[in-house]
Amino acid sequence: MEKRTQQRIALGEFLRVRRESVSRADLGMPDVPRLRTKGLRREEVAVLSGVSVTWYTWLEQGRDINPSKQVLDAVARALRLSPAEHDYVLALGGHRDSHGGSTGHAGPAGPPPPHIQRFLDALDRYPAFALGPDWAITAWNSAYAALYPNIEITPPADRNLLWLVFMDPAIRKLLPDWDADSGRFLAEFRAEAGARVGEPSYTELIDRLRSASEHFRAGWEAGTVERFASRERRFFHDAVGELVLEHHQLEPADAPETQIVAYLPAPGTDAAERLAELVGRGR
């Protein structure tokens, strides 16, 4: 199935999920007796968006139509989509790359430029790693290997952040807030991946996870989309106990297909001392 066809199908499925989850009360609309969902009917979204019911139905069905940006903007307003959800819809509609880079085929992630590894190594006290466009972990520093030793023994085909979060029991043990963290990772991945729906590496990853993880499958079907935001996260390592770290992410201007993730000690905690002890054990 070609990429645009898969993007149309994904767009239709996402709009259906969001339509069915909209609160009628928030829109000042009365409940409808015998309506199977508390959300909106297709007819109502069509009216609110200024399009025909047939056209909107085709949009949800993934038909071969080409919605304009203006129409998708109107649908996003009607469904009260968040900015991240709105960007995702535009990316699926072919109007914006939700990751900010090229809308072309990204292909499998390869090694980052050498200066990216040097940058990671310069953060030697703090765990840091590099992600490709499909979230393959393409490079890391010694502090990250100390925090998560499995990264060095994981086969390259499985060295993907989303795969590891859902499939490696060691990460569940490392993340006391795994339920919330895994859901957040999934929502952020979807927010970034709209323009890549239908690419082979994307399709293979999602199909593998849906087959292998019930938790992933349920989370994926919920259709949550959320932009990345720096935040505090908790880790638990057998050697040093709890670590409260700030999770940061940045994109080098000269390597736009690469994201650098770094975990820094949270202010007001003893994470710096615990990290120093953890990293020192590995030297």
Structure confidence at residue 31 as a pLDDT band (50, 70, 90): confident
Please state, in angstroms and as integers, the Cα–Cα distance from residue 40 to each residue in 93, 188, 257, following that order. Answer: 22, 26, 38
Q: Which helix (H) or strand (E) holds 25?
A: none
List Cβ neighbours of 216 (8 Å cut-off, separation of 6 or more): 166, 186, 209, 210
Domain annotation for the chain: domains and CATH numbers: 3-92 (1.10.260.40), 114-281 (3.30.450.180)
List Cβ neighbours of 114 (8 Å cut-off, separation of 6 or more): none
**Contact between residue 197 and residue 10 where contact means Cβ atoms under 8 Å apart:** yes
261 DSSP β-pair partners? 129, 249
- Residue type at 33? P
What pLDDT score does 105 carry?
Answer: 41
Q: Does the pLDDT value for residue 109 go beyond 80?
A: no
- Does residue 106 or residue 251 have the better pLDDT? 251
Structure confidence at residue 32 as a pLDDT band (50, 70, 90): confident
**Contact between residue 131 and residue 120 where contact means Cβ atoms under 8 Å apart:** no
- pLDDT digits 0-9 by tens, 255-275: 888 999 999 999 999 999 999
Exposed/middle/buried for residue 34 (C-beta within 10 Å: 0-12, 13-18, 19+): exposed
Residue in the structure block whose two tokens are 């609160």: 23
Structure-token pair, residue 88: 């995702």
